Structure 1
Amino acid sequence: MTMPRSLQEILEHADQLERRFADHEPADVRDAEPLHALRDAVTERAATERRISEAVTNARQAGVSWSAIGGMLGTSGEAARKRYAVSAKTA
């Protein structure tokens, strides 16, 4: 399985993992705590990605450049644009 790259793929992957963890029966696991921690992290990641996407959309609507957005995200403006442009346009 390859790691998701686009924002939509990340969100879909996180939702898929969240469903898998929710349906998991830990009978075959001696200590389910690590799985619970992982499930919580996946849920938090999905929520964080959604908040970032919304913040990027709001920033773009306010006229913030892709370069400035990329700087805040720790990447280049071009990388930020490639990752978030679709969600920023659909808002």
Structure 2
Amino acid sequence: MTRRSIEEIKARADELADAFENYDPKPGDQDAPVPPVLAVKLAAWRRDTAEQELAEAVLSAREQRMSWREVGEAIGTSGEAARQRYGASA
């Protein structure tokens, strides 16, 4: 591995910053394939975000006196399953 000087590192950082700032998307760029590991990480992040949003919505629904049966129906499960999954936080 070749050691680089601070000046070389700064120059490369400037090149990358310029490329980022001047990036002009081309037609089809939004459809570019995502590396598999990145796709998995992105899907996991989305799932975690959705689960947090759902838990907050269930808590809010329970605070407004929505029954576990109604909560379960809203999320496609039984009221008991909803209570077991979200009851500790509600």
Q: TM-score, normalised by structure 1?
A: 0.61
Q: For each residue in 1:9-59, what CA deviation from the matched residue of structure 2 results, as whole angstroms up to 9, or x when unmatched?
A: xxxxxxxxxxxxxxxxxxxxxxx7011000000001111000000000000
Residue 78 (structure 2) aligns with: 76
Q: Which has the higher helix share?
A: 1
CA distance in structure 1 between the partners assigned to 2:46 and 2:88 by the alignment:
22
Which segments of 5 or more consecutive residues in structure 1 lack a partner in the other structure?
Answer: 1-31
Matched, 1:61 2:71: no
Task: Name which structure has the greater RCO, CA cutoff 8 Å, separation 6+.
Answer: 1
- Sequence identity percentage: 44
> How far 1:87 sits from its partner (Å)?
1.1
Q: What is the one-letter code of the residue matched to 1:56?
A: V
Residue 44 (structure 2) aligns with: 42
Q: TM-score, normalised by structure 2?
A: 0.62
Large movers: runs of 4+ above 2 Å: none
Which segments of 5 or more consecutive residues in structure 2 lack a partner in the other structure?
Answer: 1-33
